Each structure stands twice: as C-alpha cells, then as structure tokens.
Amino acid sequence: AKGVEVLVSSCVVEAVPDRSGERLTGVRVGAFSTNSGLRYSTATTRLIECDTVLMSVGWSPAANLLYQAGTKMHFDHDVQQFVQEQ
C-alpha cells in the first residue's frame, strides 16, 4: 500500500508500555541477520510509536478436513508448507 513502510530482516524485540504498564505506546524493532543465527543488534533498534501490534504466522492452508479424511501430507520445501501426497 502506498505510504506503508516495510521493514525487511527485522523483528519486534520489545513491546513498550506506558508508565502504568497497562497500555502499549510503541515497539522497538531490531534488524537481524541469518548469518548470526537470527540474532538482532541492539545498536540498530528503532522505536516505533503505536497502540496495537498485529502478528501473522504466515499462510497456512486449512488442511484439517484432509487430515480427518486420512489424507497423507508431507512438507514441501519449495512452497514451505504441508501438501497432499500424490
């Protein structure tokens, strides 16, 4: 979307509360490197003011009915998800 900043190779490393500790006022975002075992650098953290954090666990197909029907599934590394065996 226009005007939306996308931070790549980054993750939320801290949720920042208000003084009462009951409300979110921001998040601290750190850059990470896969070369160092997904470690983030505190030298590169950045505070982003916000009152809500949304999180996604990625796309996951609804395979529950397939499992219940006895379908055999395997992990496909090309698409990074479980798929039905042929």
pLDDT digits (tens, 9 = 90+) for 32-79: 766 665 566 666 789 999 999 987 766 666 778 888 888 898 888 887
Average pLDDT of 12-32? 93
Residue 16 predicted with pLDDT over 90: yes
| Domain ranges within the chain, ordered by starting residue | 10-53+62-84
Instruction: Determine the Cα angle at 33 with ends 78 and 51, to 5°.
Output: 95
Residue 13 predicted with pLDDT over 70: yes
Full-prediction pTM beyond 0.75?
no
Tokens of 25: 């006022």
With b for 16 or more beta-carbon neighbours within 10 A and e for fewer, the 31-68 pattern comes to bbeeeeeeebeeeeeeeeeeeeeeeeeeeeeeeeeeee
